[in-house]
Structure 1
Amino acid sequence: MRIEKEILKKIQEHSTIIIHRHQRPDPDALGSQGGLAEILTASFPDKKIYQVGGPVGDLSYLTEMKTVEDEVYQDALVIVTDTANAPRISDNRYDQGAFLIKMDHHPDDEPYGDLSWVNTDASSSSEVIYDFYKANENDLVMTDEAARLLYAGIVGDTGRFLYPSTTSHTLQVASELVAYQFDASKLNRQIDEISFKVAKLAGYVLQEMKADENGACMVFLPQSILTQYGVTDAETAALISLPGKVEDIIAWGIFVEQLEGFFRVRLRSKGPAINQIAKAHHGGGHPLASGANAEDKEEALAIYGEIQELVKNWH
């Protein structure tokens, strides 16, 4: 039996379904989670469908979470979208259900769940969810709101179709989604917009970023700067792609100091794979887009050194 049919069978067997995603959500986390919830709610009106997790920050225009009591997990099917490893799942009750399914597109380095569908060729988990719908379209219902959410996830994880993960299939899926009734232009603007304070911080990033002769770049954002500009760690996500707009920069790291003293590290590349660097520093992700953690500035500088070495030897 194909994996898409196995997942549908499990959904049909359970009256309660709880959908999780990763911590600190991005548009794909919320798009895949919310899109799946909308599809299942429309397809199975007698089932109880919940989407859970922590705060969504400034992405509330996409979807909001529901409050679920512990006892709801008894005999429930739990589905986790867009989350590579279990420690990143938002709401640690994900393992309290009767059955656990993983649906994702990140490298499957840390498998979990009773059933897993990971398609690393997909641009996003939202694309995976759409493929799940298409494989079962005789049994599932697509709605305008589900289409809006899945489209948002694809736009978010492809950088508005700029990244190499964008395939002809990705564009075909996006084309089919925009045929539904939602304002795609408005949604694109919402995803791309930044607040005035983040715009001011962007100026600081462009002014202060350091790059070597080979195109390795680093940006440090200490707590003092975040406080000065009134920006939270979550809001700095809007700046991740900024160094990549500079033509000579090949790979870069943005090092954001946390209140606890360690650095959250966001790694991006235009060519050389940087996920092995991330894995060596308590992280992981895609070859060209990964995340890691540095215990202190010394480790952060060591990570930048590894980026420099990677770019230097890249052909």
Structure 2
Amino acid sequence: MNLQQIEATKVILSSPQKIVIVPHKNPDGDAMGSTLGLYHYLKNRGQEATIISPNDYPKFLKWMPGHEHVVNFEKDTLHAKQLISEATIIFTLDFNHLGRIDQMKPFLEEAKATFIMIDHHQAPGDYADLMYSDVSMSSTCEMVYNFIEFLGHKDQINSDIANCLYTGIMTDTGSFKFLSTTSRTHRIAADLIDKGANNTQIHNKVFDTNTPSRLHLLGCALKNMVILEEYHTAYITLSQEELDGNHYKKGDTEGFVNYGLTLDGICLAVIFIENKEDGIVKISFRSEGDFSVNEFAKKHFQGGGHTNAAGGKSDVSLEDTAAYFVSLLDNYKEQLKA
């Protein structure tokens, strides 16, 4: 965020505002951690702020301070639409084009508010009036920490803010192992612990609250894993029948895709998850090294994200989606050398 934009933000926030904070659809730890962290900061500064999530989010994130105040657009549409229409500022966090908020999109497009984007994904859209976009950042939560520091209020980060921001940094860095994790990321994490983030408790609440059905679903996913040694690739499929048979709940498949990368010699891991209600196959891509799953997802699967972590979707059957994916790999054989 350049100096001009920082000063403009300071001026806007120097007077009372009606603020709406929006994460992307199917929000993850970074999306909810960043929105809740910013929410507490703004509330402590005397602002009227509300988080509106496009839809529900996983149970393992519903311990964070302030989560009970999040408005679910799907469940409370009329109230959410009113808040959006009355907002003077709309923050969009952890996404950079309005297609990521699904049915909320037309209402944000009609909004008269000033838009402020904070995000670390590639190829940002041009809808925001003020934009803090940096693809080198480990997480949007790290950026919210920087944002608060830019405004001169780092000393106002309390334990509620710290717990929320630490959660998003931890989850989006793969517990600090991804390439985007820098020495500054660690210094910020340390400062958040000093300011009250309970790192041990956060890890336990996010990663150690499994249900038997989720572990059974994981077993099913690993049993379905296909390893393509020639392409240094592993992929998993999960059908709607398998999800239903294992009592799938939102968030249950979080992290499943990463298991492929734990295999020696694998540099591309993918999971295909059938969603018959939406008529799509949801896809998550992970890679190691220089292979850009962002470019791969953008070119072939209506998606995108980061160089080593991206998402996409397919409108054909689960079987045809997997077959199409495999058919593409020969074109990338040289790039997929582990």
Q: Same fold (TM over 0.5)?
A: yes
Separation of aligned partners in 1, 2:20 and 2:207? 30
Amino acid at match of 2:302: H
Select which of 301, 306, 317 maps to 1:286.
306
Select which of 111, 120, 126 maps to 2:126.
111
Identify if the C-alpha distance between structure 1 residues 81 and 112 changes in structure 2 by more than 3 Å, giving closer, same or farther: same
For 2:26, the equivalent position in structure 1 comes to 24
**1:209-288 equivalence runs, <5 A:** 209-213=225-229, 214-232=231-249, 234-259=251-276, 260-271=278-289, 272-280=291-299, 281-288=301-308
**1:130-149 equivalence runs, <5 A:** 130-138=145-153, 141-149=156-164
For 1:301, the equivalent position in structure 2 comes to 323
TM-score (norm 1): 0.92
> Is contact 1:127-1:170 (8 Å) kept?
yes
Identify if the C-alpha distance between structure 1 residues 301 and 2 changes in structure 2 by more than 3 Å, giving closer, same or farther: farther
> Is contact 1:148-1:182 (8 Å) kept?
yes
Separation of aligned partners in 2, 1:111 and 1:181? 36
> Is contact 2:268-2:336 (8 Å) kept?
no
Give the secondary structure class of the aligned counterpart of 2:206: helix
1:3-40: CA deviations, max 9, x gaps? 33332322234521111010101000001111001011
Amino acid at match of 2:220: Y
Aligned-residue offset at 1:304: 3.5
The runs of at least 4 consecutive aligned structure 1 residues that moved more than 6 Å come to none
Point out the more displaced range, 83-92 or 15-24.
Answer: 83-92
For 1:84, the equivalent position in structure 2 comes to 96
Point out the more displaced range, 65-74 or 194-203.
Answer: 65-74
- Structure 1 vs Structure 2 CA RMSD: 2.1
Gaps of 5+ in 2: none
> Is contact 2:157-2:195 (8 Å) kept?
no
Separation of aligned partners in 2, 1:13 and 1:121? 32
Gaps of 5+ in 1: none
Separation of aligned partners in 1, 2:11 and 2:211? 44
TM-score (norm 2): 0.86
Separation of aligned partners in 2, 1:71 and 1:143? 30
For 1:50, the equivalent position in structure 2 comes to 50
Amino acid at match of 1:178: I
Point out the more displaced range, 164-173 or 73-82.
Answer: 73-82
For 1:41, the equivalent position in structure 2 comes to 43
Separation of aligned partners in 2, 1:257 and 1:181? 40
Does residue 164 in structure 1 map to residue 164 in structure 2?
A: no
For 1:11, the equivalent position in structure 2 comes to 13
Separation of aligned partners in 1, 2:160 and 2:82? 29
Sequence identity (%): 23
Separation of aligned partners in 1, 2:226 and 2:113? 50
Give the secondary structure class of the aligned counterpart of 1:130: helix
